[in-house]
Structure 1
């Protein structure tokens, strides 16, 4: 094994340890908090959902790192995963508009689904993911406009945050699609 290959392997090993360690810490934190405060109430089902969500993000990132050596591609995947994960997590925990029981919040799941669907259709190639992430940003804005025009709220801050993440991911995927990108 060349010195460069050893260095790359060591770097990936450290990143993997950091990633999976962070996921484990995020799952352990509520269990510890429940021992010291009555304000954290996680059921076994909450831990299962959190483990599935965090594990899915970790697995998707693992697959992206193994399949594509391009740094821009990997960063795009990380941002798109973060946007999708946070959208789902916030919606399940407290809701984006009103509370988690507000049916209009279900519309926010369309944006992460756009990225997943576009990725599947385009075989997770950078150009397809660039389009899918840009579509997710448009969907995010469209959902906000629909909610606002129907008088159910005006989630501008959340929309700007998530749309920006998706647009940066789209730009990174476009960069990855360029020759030598």
Structure 2
């Protein structure tokens, strides 16, 4: 039973990433305000997937609960900063 719950939690970040990428895809069907290209989806998918992989690999090495929470917070902050920088076009 515990193994099943653990496997479900390992799938959760990937489901969240899929939902986050589906939101602009659905929004593009209803409004012209959202205009993502294939490169936008690729960049967002790479950023979010990379962060999930880093956390999954690093989470195995971090044993303390609070250290794991701090690492997750730092990773979320880094992704948010990169996402915001990409949204205002600093890199382009």
Normalising by structure 2, report the TM-score: 0.86
Deviation at 1:50, TM superposition (A): 0.3
After superposition, residues 2-151 of structure 1 pair within 5 angstroms as 6-7=1-2, 9-94=3-88, 100-101=89-90
Cα offsets for 1:61-94 (capped at 9, x unmatched): 1112222332122111110101100011011102
Deviation at 1:24, TM superposition (A): 0.8
Change (3 A) 1:67 1:11: farther
Over aligned residues, Cα RMSD in angstroms?
1.7
Cα offsets for 1:105-162 (capped at 9, x unmatched): xxxxxxxxxxxxxxxxxxxxxxxxxxxxxxxxxxxxxxxxxxxxxxxxxxxxxxxxxx
Question: Structure 2: where are the runs of 5+ without partners?
Answer: none
Aligned length: 91
Question: Structure 1: where are the runs of 5+ without partners?
Answer: 1-5, 95-99, 104-181
Which segments of structure 1 move beyond 4 Å, counting only runs of 4 or more? none
CA–CA separation in structure 2 for the residues paired with 1:81 and 1:64: 11
Aligned to 1:165: none
CA–CA separation in structure 2 for the residues paired with 1:25 and 1:35: 16
CA–CA separation in structure 2 for the residues paired with 1:14 and 1:66: 16
CA–CA separation in structure 1 for the residues paired with 2:14 and 2:38: 21
